[in-house]
């Protein structure tokens, strides 16, 4: 029988370490993952999302390898002039720090959620959403600059390989969409925390599940930053 | 006891430390570009910092480190088959590049 604990989570039957534990988890006549169902489903959703983003990045690798035209240098394309001097990739670096900070505040929000500190959880989640919105805003600025000033289009650009635009807009656009959806998701969960919904249901798992999604968005950015902007 | 308890009782300082580490690693990967490193050194450093950051996020921030082994394997092993896709596409990309060089270069 599953027993509800203080945290509202399902009490896990005896945890066995290592591979024997895996075997016993999969072979026993019970649910395999003794975690909140929402958490298991979020993980599986994130796994599928991993495949989507990997397909994008792999196709980007393919077009970049196969083009005979020089690839535009991202270091110069994304440079920003501050005080009359171009600094390479500075906007992207700031966006990276913003997103990592949001991940940090989110991790703390999850922790305060399990400590049943409603005020801090709500505040930290709203800060996280704020960082996310900032990120999307900076991305909008970046896109505007690229489209209007550099003349980069999905079908071509004056700097080099035509595939640069299509892969750039596709990958960062899909990621930006994830961030935007995440901001809405976080605000909704934060308001429910504030309203005391999880106090009544006795489970703060919802905060951790939202956190998983948010960390994943940050994780994807790590790969985009490495492969698209730095490579 | 349940894995949930190990999962939820961490001091805040753990997250602050990881946050700091991620900041430092991001700064390092930005430096790779700022100092215009090239070739194999650039690529290996980018990959190194990328995997370190990804590992920290997944294991600590997403609490994967404290999950049961069954869940860890179910989530982390399937993406490995992407290596096949990447390998195939790399071969295909090379081939397309060669064909284009021979047939389409002005």
A11-21 pLDDT per residue, tens: 455 667 788 88
Same domain, B59 and B100: no
Residue among B19, B54, B104 minimizing CB distance to A68: B104
Residue A130 has pLDDT above 70, yes or no: yes
Closest-CA distance, B100 to chain A, in angstroms, reads 7
Same domain, B28 and B51: yes
Nearest chain B alpha carbon to A64: B93
B56 and B92 part of one domain: no
B96 → chain A, closest CA residue: A66
- In this structure, are B14 and B60 located in the same domain? yes
Q: Of B6, B13, B59, B62, which to mutate for an interface test with A (greatest number of A Cβ within 10 Å)?
A: B62
Give the mean model confidence (pLDDT) for residues A192-203.
90
Question: Within 10 Å of residue A36's Cβ, how many Cβ atoms?
Answer: 19
Query: Hey, is A4 helix, strand or coil?
Result: strand
Give the residue from A128, A108, A208 showing the smallest Cα distance to B16: A108
* Inside any domain, residue B73: no
Interface contact A47-B71, CB threshold 8 A: no
Residues 6+ apart with CB under 8 A from A8: A201, A202, A203, A204, A205
- Together in a domain, B32 and B61: yes
Residue B37 lies in a domain: yes
> How many structural domains does chain B have?
2
Asked if B40 and B16 sit in the same domain, the reply is: yes
Quote the ipTM score: 0.90
Sequence length of chain A is 231
Query: Residues 6 or more apart from B29 whose CB is under 8 A from it?
Result: A225, A226, A230, B45, B46, B49, B50, B53
Q: What percent of chain A lies above the pLDDT cut of 70?
A: 94
- Per the CB < 8 Å rule, is A47 touching B60? no
Contacts of A51 in chain B (CB under 8 A): 79, 82
DSSP A158: T
CB A97 within 8 A of CB A134: no
Q: Which domain holds residue B25?
A: 3-67
Residues B85 and B39 grouped into a single domain: no
Of B7, B14, B28, B87, nearest in space to A35 by CA: B7
Q: Could you say which of A43, A114, A222 has the minimum Cβ distance to residue B71? A: A43
Query: Do B10 and B59 fall into the same domain?
Result: yes
Say yes or no for a CB contact (<8 Å) between A34 and B26.
no
> Is B72 contained in some domain?
no
- Chosen for mutation from B43, B93, B103 (greatest number of chain A CBs closer than 10 Å) is B93
Q: Which residue has the higher pLDDT, A35 or B3?
A: A35
> Average pLDDT of A199-220?
93
To test the contact with chain A by mutation, choose from B10, B15, B32, B78 the residue with the greatest count of A C-beta atoms within 10 A, namely: B15
Residues of B in contact with A93 (CB under 8 A): 26, 30
pLDDT at A5 over 50: no
pLDDT more than 70, % of chain B: 91
Cα–Cα nearest to A66, from B82, B47, B101, B106: B101
Is residue B61 located within the same domain as residue B85? no
Q: Using 50, 70 and 90 to split pLDDT, how confident is the model at B2? A: very low
- CATH architecture of the domain covering A37-230: Up-down Bundle (1.20)
What is the reported pLDDT for A140?
96
Query: What are the start and end residues of each CATH 1.20.120.80 domain in chain A?
Result: 37-230
**Cβ count within 10 A of residue A166:** 19
Whether residue B51 is contained in a domain is answered as yes
Integer CA distances (angstroms), B23 to A103, A133, B30, in order: 11, 20, 10
Q: Which residues of B touch A47 (CB under 8 A)?
A: 75, 78-79
Q: Mean of the pLDDT values across residues A55-81?
A: 91
> For the residues A121-148, what does the mean pLDDT come to?
95
| A83-97 confidence digits (pLDDT tens) | 778 888 889 999 999
Mean pLDDT, chain A, rounded, equals 89
Is the pLDDT at A203 greater than 90? The verdict is no
Based on the fold, state whether residues B42 and B92 are members of the same structural domain.
Answer: no
A153-157 contacts at long range (C-beta below 8 A, 24 or more positions apart): A157/A72
Q: Is B85:A54 a contact under the CB 8 Å cutoff?
A: yes
Helix ranges (DSSP H) in chain A: 18-27, 37-66, 74-77, 90-114, 118-144, 163-195, 197-201, 205-224
**B60 and B27, same structural domain?**
yes
Taking every pair of Cα atoms in chain A, the longest distance, rounded to a whole number of angstroms, is 68
- pLDDT tens digit string along A14-55? 667 788 888 888 888 888 888 889 999 999 999 999 999 999
Which residue would you say has higher pLDDT here, A221 or B6?
Answer: A221
Q: Are B63 and B99 found together in one domain? A: no
């Amino acid at each position: 029988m599953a027993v509800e604990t203080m945290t509202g989570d399902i009490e896990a039957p005896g945890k066995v370490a290592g591979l024997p534990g895996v075997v016993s988890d999969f072979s026993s006549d019970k649910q395999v993952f003794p975690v909140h169902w929402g958490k298991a489903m979020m993980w599986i959703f994130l796994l599928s999302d991993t495949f989507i983003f990997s397909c994008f990045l792999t196709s980007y690798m393919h077009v970049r390898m196969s083009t005979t035209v020089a690839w535009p240098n991202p270091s110069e394309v994304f440079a920003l002039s501050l005080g009359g001097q171009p600094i390479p990739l500075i906007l992207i670096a700031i966006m990276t720090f913003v997103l990592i900070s949001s991940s940090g505040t989110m991790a703390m929000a999850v922790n305060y959620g399990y400590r049943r500190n409603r005020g801090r959880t709500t505040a930290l989640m709203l800060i996280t959403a704020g960082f996310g919105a900032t990120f999307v805003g900076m991305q909008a600025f970046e896109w505007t600059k690229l489209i209007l000033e550099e003349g980069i289009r999905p079908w071509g650009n004056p700097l080099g390989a035509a595939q640069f635009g299509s892969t750039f807009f596709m990958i960062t656009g899909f990621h930006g969409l994830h961030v935007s959806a995440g901001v809405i998701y976080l605000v909704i969960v934060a308001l429910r925390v504030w309203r005391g919904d999880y106090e009544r249901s006795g489970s703060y798992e919802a905060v951790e599940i939202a956190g998983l999604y948010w960390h994943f968005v940050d994780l994807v950015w790590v790969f985009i930053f490495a492969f698209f902007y730095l490579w | 006891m349940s894995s949930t308890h190990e999962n939820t009782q961490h001091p805040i300082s753990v997250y602050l430390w990881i946050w700091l580490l991620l900041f430092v690693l991001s700064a390092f990967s930005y430096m790779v570009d700022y100092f215009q490193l090239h070739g194999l050194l650039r690529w290996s450093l980018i990959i190194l910092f990328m995997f370190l950051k990804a590992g920290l996020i997944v294991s600590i921030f997403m609490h994967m480190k404290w999950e049961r082994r069954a869940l860890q394997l179910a989530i982390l092993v399937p993406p490995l088959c992407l290596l096949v896709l990447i390998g195939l596409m790399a071969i295909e990309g090379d081939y397309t590049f060669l064909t284009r060089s021979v047939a389409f270069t002005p």
